[in-house]
Each structure stands twice: as structure tokens, then as C-alpha cells.
Structure 1
Amino acid sequence: MQSDVSTPQAMSTVADAPRGNWVDRLAPPATRPWLRLSRADRPIGTWLLLLPCWWGTGLAMMADRPLWVDLWVVIACAIGSVVMRGAGCTWNDITDRDIDGSVARTRSRPLPSGQVTLRGTFIWLGAQLAIGALILFTMNAAAIALGVASLALVAVYPFAKRFTWWPQVFLGLAFNWGVLVAFAAHGGSLHPAPVLAYAAGILWTLFYDTIYAHQDAEDDALIGVKSTARLFGKDSPRWLLGFAAGAVVLLAAAVAATRPSVLQAVIGTAGIAGFALHLSWQLRRFDPGDSPALLRLFRSNRDAGLIVAGALFLAGLA
């Protein structure tokens, strides 16, 4: 896997990466294009993939009881989210290499800018998938089957914006699948609680990724790429409110489905209320014409998801 790290393109940051990120500051120059392919310079995507997994673990603890295996599930999901998010981003860049070259925010990515070769990118994809498989195979059979099934969603997602105005739904289907995997990894079966949380996560993804997609709405219109941001246009605030409300209601239903004790119900409800307040805060600051603010709001969803995860873990231990 060779990359021309001597060029200015290879040495500079990607346009939409946070300034001063660890890849730009600390990673050896030869590794930077590969780490950028995996979005290691932008950890928010890893968080958004990981948090539903932690929701699933917390719900399993509430529905059953805490088990020692849960500690490994929490760690395994963290490692797996890093490599599988990286694999998903690498696959996305392979499929979108021509589109990315036409969009101001993405043309500096390693593949369209020529920092890496297509062959090398496929090899990097395979390496990440292999690590993800090793992590997955430490879990029980139900979790393994669900994890393998998720690959179909990951494979389809990059193409969704070519045939539907709702590609964010496909992202939600893929990014929140971990709630099912993690719940199954606890006891080997599923339950209404993770299914409800999965539906909540899909609506949450529609919320935060519509905010994100507004950054590219003008470029997407020029090249014919579809998104909910373009579909909703000026009606986006109303749609975002609906997605937020639906996510909150479904999360509350997921907690109720575990048949919690009074203390568990109080802790879970407090977490969901915090989540609702965070989404409300984002809605009040939503401005489709302010790209830097849109990116900040999108990244703030790490904190929104952590509020829920923390509450579910505490409730599960109560």
C-alpha cells in the first residue's frame, strides 16, 4: 500500500477534519492517508456507531441482570466500532471516489486526491474487516449471526443516495444494528427492548445526519446526489422535531419493555429526559446556512448518546 506522502496533499489535513486532530499532529506521515481513509481524524462516527451497542448492553442488564460477559461486550464493541467504522468509511470512499472529487468538502480525501491507490484501499478495507471478524467471533452464536447480517446494510448504504431521497434511513439501519448485536451477546437472544431502541436509533440518525447533510446540500444538488436535507429543504426543522420526538418516545418504550424496578425506571427516565433536552438544544441552534455550526451540532450527538448509555448502565447496575 503505497502513498505519495511527500506531496503537499498527503501532508495536509482533510478539509472537514477537526483542526489539530491527533492524526495530523502525531501519526507518522506514511500512515496518515490510511488513517484518514478510516476517519481516525474524525472520531465522531466511531462514537455514533458505538453508542447504540452500549445502549444494547445497558438494556440487557436491565432486562436480565449484570453479567461478567457484559464487560467484554463493552470493550469488544469499542474496538469493533473503531475498525468497522473505518472499514465502512473505506468502502464508502471506494464507491464515492468520483463523487467525492466533485464536492468541495470531500475532494481532499485520500482516494480522490490521489494520496492512495484503489488497490491499496481495497487491501486496507480487507485488513479492517479481518480485525472486526476476530472481535465478533469472540461472542456467542446469536451475536455472530447478527454481526454478519449487518454487512449487507454496510455494503448497500453508499449507493442509497443514488436511488432514494432517504439515504439517512440506510445509515440508521446500519449504524444502530449494534444495539441488537450487543443485547444478543449478553444472553444469546433478542427482546422487544433492543428492537424498540433500534427503531429509536434510526430516528436519531435521521435527526443528526440530516443536520450533517445540510453542509453539502448545494454541491449535492449540482451532482444529483439525494439526501433528506435536500428533500426537506426549508421544512427541515419540522422534520427534525418529529424525528427527535419519535426517538425519545421509542427509547422510553424500550426502557419500559425491560420491566424495570422503580429505581431503574427513575434512572432510565432521567437519561431519556437529558437526551430530549440535548436534541431540543440542537434544534434551537439549527441554521442550515451555517456549515461550521452544523458540523458542531452533528458532533454534539456523541454527548446526547452518552447521556442515554450512562443512564442505561446505571439502571442496569441498580
Structure 2
Amino acid sequence: MNNKVTIRDVAKAAGVSPSTVSRAFSMPGRVSPATTKRIFQVADELGYHEIPVESRPSSGHKGLVAIIVPDMTNQFFSDIVRSVQQECARQGMGLLVSESCESASMERVAFDRAVYYADGVILASSRMPDSMIRKCAQVKPVVVTNRVIRGVSSVITDVSQGMKQTAAHLKGLGFDRLTYLDGPAHSWSAGMCWNELTQACAEEGLKIKRFWPGVPTYEGGFQMARDYLKNPTGAVVAYNDMMALGFIAAMRKNGYECPRDYSIIGIDDDIVGRLAWPALTSIHRSTRLLGSQAARTLLARFTNGDVGTPVQSTPTRLVIRESTGPRSS
């Protein structure tokens, strides 16, 4: 971080007023997305990192960890928070939780506020660009989950095995093509899931159609059913369980049931998917391992200076339930 770069320098380079720069960092909803993006890009290029003078972090140990998640209503992230909390409690640390609402600008603001109070920060499935995350890591120890950033410690889920099992399962049920309901355009894990699924399908000789980008929510999955019905493939894989459940609801509204009329597989293996009717076949990702490993990695960073392995991974596996069945005639 370059302390000599001021907010006026950023404003001049971005062609806006200093007050606009200030609003972009403190109240991003009041600045247009295009202007906010330009300001953040200029700030990164100049080495400016907005932390109010009265809130600059001290070097003293505070006994507090911060975690920033995109969506607290998503069980995947709430489970990560819970596992981080448990690991922090075991090591006598407190936890500060913030939500970015899937917004890179809000995530940046949350980080700038959290670093004053916390010894380190976990960014869960960060929506910020790589360069911005690296700038954050220069301020305080940072660990990211479900994302690989050069020079920053990462803990990811290796979806390759789960995707291979998914493709083999659908092929065994008689399907020769499938539709993938993809996630957000700015999600690193969405790109990795797509790459691994396409490779797995190629190995099994399955054709794949992609709906992208998508909103990783129940509503997002619900909305995709209409386009799917224009050219159905019989088999569907969703970016997460909530999208799969929304898709099932929309299909049911149109008179289609799984696995009678189609088969569907989610990703995450959430409790809501297990309790759904029919119970959802899903790729299991261990949020417990993901969160606890991220917490241990971060705590080791500022307690004994241990940088550890740059990228650590946790495995995945397919859990077969009632939402998949033999291809209907």
C-alpha cells in the first residue's frame, strides 16, 4: 500500500471528483457500476487502498478474525462461517462476519472496515478482482476460499472427482446429453465447475448445453426452467442445490416431475436438498473441512508466521438420491 497516494490523486486519474471516489468506497450503491469499476481500477493501479485515517489498523494483536461472504442466506456460506467459528473458538479467537451481497464494491468496503478490528480476514468465494485481493493481502493476512489468487493463501474444493462421478452416473442412466445451469459470471468456482464438467462429459461421450450466467439462488434456478423446456435434454446439473430446487419447482409447475420426466443433480449437498421431495442427488463439498482449513491457515499466519501451502484442496463426491433415475422413453 502506498500511503503517499491520496484520494485526490485517484479522483484526478479517474476523471471524477474526490467526493465521488469517497462515495464509491463508502456508499457504492450511490455511484454507477461503471464509475465504481473505473475508480477501483485506478486505485489499484496507483496503489491506493482506502482506509480512513482514524480507522487505520494497528499492529497489535486483537484476538479477532473476520470473514466476508457473498450471501448469508446460502447455506453453503453459513456452514463455512460456522466451521470457521468453531475453529476460532478452539484457538481462543473471536469472529467478525460481514456479507457483501454478491458485490465486489461492498466486499472491498467490508474489508476496509474489518481490518481495523481483525488480525486477519477470510474471503469466502470473493467477488473482487485478483489485483484487488492482492492489495488487501498487503494490509492484513488474507486467506481466500473457492478461489486461487497468485501470492495469496487459498483453500478450494476439488470438484474434478465429483464431476467425473456425475458424468458417469448420467451415462449409466442412459443419457447422452445434459444441460448445465451455471452460476455468476464473476465466480471463480463457477468457471472451475464448468471446466471440470465439460472434461468429464467429454470422457463419457456426453454432449452438454450451458445456460450462463445464472443467479445462484432458488429464484435463479426457477427462471431457467422456461428456456430449458424449449429444448430439453432430459438430464440437468445445477451450479448449486438452491438453483436445482428452484428448477424442480418451476418444472413441477409446468407438469414435469423428476426423475419421471428428467433427472437433476445439484452441487453442495445442502440439508435443504436432502429434505426436498424428491431428495436431491448432489455433489458433496465439505464446508466443515473448507472452513476449518481456511481458519487454521489464517491463524497460523499471524500466530507463528507460517505461510504454509499456497493452495490447499478438499475432495468432492457424488451422493445419489431420488432426483435421478433411468432415462424415460
Q: Same fold (TM over 0.5)?
A: no
Larger RCO (alpha carbons 8 Å, 6+ apart)? 1
Q: Which has the larger helix fraction?
A: 1
> Whose radius of gyration is greater, 1 or 2?
2
* TM-score (norm: length of structure 1): 0.30
* TM-score (norm: length of structure 2): 0.29
